[in-house]
Amino acid sequence: MAALAAALPLASGWSVHGLWMRRRIAAARRDPLTGLLTRDGFTEAARRWLSSIRPRAVCLIDLNEFKQINDTYGHAAGDAVIRAVGERLREWALNNSAVVGRLGGDEFAAVVPAYSEHQLAETLGSLTAGLEQPVEVGGHSLTISAAIGVVRFNPRTDRADLPELLRVADEQMYRAKRTGTPWMQALGCAPEQATVNGRRDGRPGTRGEAA
């Protein structure tokens, strides 16, 4: 009995330590500004989602003219915009059974069900409508918008991993930016352009430019 009594505080201590460690790991996978999953957290969750037998769509979301907001109104305003976008993405994800993460800067990613082209178009339409609401910052009403690249993935017929799907979505995102459309969807799961150091050729950082 004495030995058991002595062991109880030790076991309790390890239990508390284990809980603390789990909370630290969970916190490390959440972006502190938006509360969304970080790149690592999103990668882990997205891979689980893509392992399902159901069709999914991988989306890459990049805000338009975000640098101008920072340059004109300051980084505090830029942070406020990112926080607002995070809140809108989190609400959209809950309403559309999606997983969303912040990859860095003003770039976000999502994996969403894609049962049909019609359903996916409605899902992307609701995403665009939510993101395009103005953000009120310091007495200014800031209009924001995003370019979204989309690739549909059917595990029954397609063979592609998450990095490849993100590269394809990245290509379509830049195509949406160039054409001024809210989103562009790839015709297949294979990248159309060459990659350099794992990034789309021509993207900042592939030819010695600042990323």
Distance CA 25, CA 18 (A): 11
Distance CA 171, CA 143 (A): 25
DSSP string of 41-72?
HHHHHHHHHHTSSS-EEEEEEEETTHHHHHHH
Kindly report the number of other CB atoms within 10 A of residue 40's CB atom: 11
Q: Please tell me which residue in 31, 71, 79, 106 is annotated as part of the active site.
A: 106
Distance CA 92, CA 85 (A): 10
Active site includes 161?
no
Closest CA to 60 of 113, 101, 121: 101
Active site positions, annotated: 106
